[in-house]
Structure 1
Amino acid sequence: MTNARTGAGLASTATRAILRRLPLAATLIGLGLAVWLVATNDTTAIGAAFARIGPLGLAAIVLVRMVILLLCGLGWACLLDRIAAVPQAAFVILRFVREGINTLLPVASVGGDIVGGRLLTFWGAAGTFAAASILVDLLIQSGALVAFAVVGVVLLHQVPGEEATLLAQWASNALMAMTIVLAAFFAFQRAGALRRLTNLVGDLGRRFTRDGGGADTETKPGAPAQAGDVQDALDRVWAAGRRRPLLWSTVLHVAAWFLGAVEIWIALVCLGVEGAGLADAIVIEALTQAIKAMAFPVPSGLGIQEGGFVLVGGLFGLDAGTALALSLVKRVPDVVLGLPALMVWQSLEARRGTVI
């Protein structure tokens, strides 16, 4: 039994080591793809297209992104309305922090969300409700993206050409798969799966202890009940009497995704792309965001976003250089807003006395 425990411990250590290295490996792969896309195209043309957008265009895009994150923060706040006495400003600030971590640090695209949930407890929110709010917020945000992408696919069907038809079919299949995954995620939250999983793990742990000849000790107070407590918090957030806050959260997230298309439209107008309309911007934004979401293990969608812009932009007559410039433009708010957000995060940690 000792050998079994040792083997299980080594396997667990190896698994943790692999999981720790996955984000870095994904970052390097994505960065390599992005560099390859830029290097195999005319860098002069990319720079010229980026320069045509100009400081005013970039400032407008950054301003739109600020509004987007404001709406997302308010949508998150709706989930704990009348549950936790946390000011809306805290949700907005932490939404910027979540985005900054997800876009600028080599973590999977949910790393910032985990940190954001923990930071929410600094305002007095219970850890269970903070975790529950993050789980529900991610589900609603992803569901809103699917709804937004469906609009993009419908508009894509109006674009002539065999390539557009093939891309629309592929996107439809991908959205169907995403819908199934989200439905499973919703069922996981609503079916008491966390509580059952906790009980199962606790039973297995106690049985393993008995089989190993050790004392049949009780689990540490709070340890086995934590996931069950989160399940209770999830049930509270999803309660039937809270349909209005959930609806408002959904509306705000949907509005945020559509505002993302405004960023593209501003860039297209500044680039002088003839006939560029809001419908075109919606298609480009919806499909590139869907592609990026499906590659969520790659931090900030490095390389994935760039490839998506080249693929989708070509349907609207955008050359590769212009499409890559669009992708670079979308990353400007990531840096301009992300760096201050990371500083806010470190400030919050320092005031809390936590060593990063």
Structure 2
Amino acid sequence: MTTASSAPLRHRLGRALLRRVPLLGALAGILLALWLVSVHDVGAVASAFGRVGPAGLAAVVLVRTLILLLCGFAWAKVADASGIGTGPFLLLRFVREGVNVLLPVASVGGEVLGGRLLTFWGVAGPLAAAGIVVDLFFQVIGLALFALAGALLLAQVENAQAARLATWCAEGLVVSAIVLSAFFAVQRLGGAGAVERRLAALGRRFLRETAPSPDARPGVQGALDTLWARSRWCSLMQGFCLHMAAWLLGALEIWIALKCIGVADVSFAEAVVLESLSQAIKSAAFPVPSGLGVQEGGLVLLGALFGIDADTALALSLVKRVPDVVLGLPSLLLWQLIEGRRSLVARPRGEVG
């Protein structure tokens, strides 16, 4: 029989375990990455990575920069109901990415932080939170459609293993469609109260705040209704299209890297399969920060279907990690700069009644 004293203890233990999920995910990812490296030829991986060269790495970083700019414009399109302009969304999109790829925050800390920092430009807390929710929804919808395109292209490969993988991807996408439909229903049918409480809890956990922000008062559902208003559907669709363009542009990263490594016969369609399905695998393992080990394993698995050896696939993953660091470190410094200028924040606007 459960006693009154044991219930709070269980709750405290559950919260403590939940707080450690990102760290546990990071540890699991590091171990997986180390195992993948240990069972393959490190010298061959380093040689393949070296063939990319400074010019190839610069091109990959440039493509990633364009991707994040597109995502920033998309966020502004779906979330800017306060009239603050595009600039803050572009800056904070880089911060969101830097936090997600370089800190142990289970790939959601960047979104929580991005919503919080947006209030520094005078956006009301509920509206900032709602904007993050809608932007993330369109981003995930875009990834699901991108993964569907990858699965359809993979199904054309005359390979039994490719056919099985395409079938598994299709089954996973059916589940994703159900989850995304439920997520949309929560936003549109007045179920955002729970979302609001979870966002506030995540913010306090990841940002080590002991009390809710003054802007974290009820109103997320009203803000969601504002963003989903019929008059804004043109902006919402523009944001969605920008996210789709960003996902497709990600395939260019892989195509450039493989060409530089020396895989001359890779087609852009094959790059789409590699990028779309590796990103889907990485997203499914969201508790692992930046998909450590998961991205590498996914590219090894998928690359084998197109005759790409494991050493080359691991080198490809390393190339994709370069923009994470090159763009992520300045983004973390930008975050600290913004925090330091918090005293210059204007009064919140865009309140939703």
> One-letter code of the match for 1:187?
A
After TM superposition, the structure 1 = structure 2 runs for residues 1-356 of structure 1, keeping only pairs within 5 Å, are: 4=4, 6-81=5-80, 83-195=81-193, 226-227=217-218, 229-352=219-342
Distance 1:241 1:44 in 2: 57
Deviations 1:184-226 (Å, cap 9, x if unpaired)?
1111111101248989xxxxxxxxxxxxxxxxxxxxxx99x93
Counterpart code for 1:341: S
Q: Distance in 2 between matches of 1:261 and 1:111?
A: 25
Residues in 2 aligned to 1:35 and 1:309: alpha-carbon distance in whole angstroms: 15
Instruction: State the AA in 2 paired with 1:97.
Output: V
SS at match of 1:13: helix
Instruction: Return the offset for 1:157.
Output: 1.3
Separation in structure 2 between the aligned mates of residue 154 and residue 285 of structure 1, nearest angstrom: 14
Which residue type is aligned with residue 118 of structure 1?
R
Give the direction of change, closer, same or farther, for the CA distance of 1:102–1:196 in structure 2 (3 Å limit).
Answer: closer
Deviation of 1:174 after TM superposition, in Å, equals: 1.1
Shift of 1:326: 0.6
Aligned to 1:209: none
What 5-or-longer segments of structure 2 have no aligned partner? 198-212, 344-353
Q: Distance in 1 between matches of 2:180 and 2:34?
A: 32
**Closer, same or farther in 2 for the Cα pair 1:87/1:198, shift >3 Å?**
closer
Runs of 4+ in 1 over 6 A off after TM superposition: 196-199
Query: How far is 1:7 from its partner?
Result: 4.3
SS at match of 1:316: coil
Equivalent residue letter for 1:147:
L
Cα shift at 1:346: 1.1
CA–CA distance in 1 between the matches of 2:309 and 2:48?
10
Moved more, 66-75 or 181-190: 181-190
Residues 292-338 of structure 1, C-alpha deviations (whole Å, 9 max, x = no match): 01111111001110000000000110110000001111110000000
Deviation at 1:273, TM superposition (A): 1.0
* 8 A Cα contact 1:85 1:125, kept in partner: no
Distance 1:118 1:197 in 2: 15
Please report how far the alpha carbon of residue 10 of structure 1 lies from its aligned counterpart in structure 2 after TM superposition. Answer: 2.8
In the alignment, the residues of structure 1 paired with residue 147 and residue 220 of structure 2 have an alpha-carbon distance, to the nearest angstrom, of 31
Amino acid at match of 2:85: P
Residue aligning to 2:210:
none
- Secondary structure of the corresponding residue to residue 217 of structure 2: helix
| Structure 1 gaps, min length 5 | 200-221
Cα distance in 2, alignment partners of residues 260 and 41 from structure 1? 26
SS in 2 for 1:226: coil
Cα deviation, residue 350, structure 1: 2.1
CA distance in 2, matches of 1:280, 1:183: 29
What percent of counterpart residues are identical?
Answer: 56
CA distance in 2, matches of 1:79, 1:33: 37
- Give the direction of change, closer, same or farther, for the CA distance of 1:154–1:194 in structure 2 (3 Å limit): same
Aligned length: 329
**How many Å apart are 1:11 and its aligned residue?**
3.1
Q: Do the aligned residues in 1 keep the contact of 2:32 with 2:293 (CA within 8 Å)?
A: yes
How far the C-alpha of 1:274 sits from its partner, in A, is: 3.2
Q: 1:173 to 1:337 in 2, by over 3 A?
A: same
The one-letter amino acid paired with 2:217 is Q
Q: What's the offset of the Cα at 1:14?
A: 1.8
Could you tell me how far apart the structure 2 residues matched to 1:307 and 1:48 are? 19
The residue type equivalent to 2:88 in the other structure is A
Deviations 1:34-86 (Å, cap 9, x if unpaired)? Answer: 010011100000000000111100000000000000000000001233x2122
- Work out whether residues 77 and 239 of structure 2, in 8 Å CA contact, stay in contact via their aligned partners in 1: yes
Inter-partner Cα distance in structure 2 for 1:34 and 1:62: 22
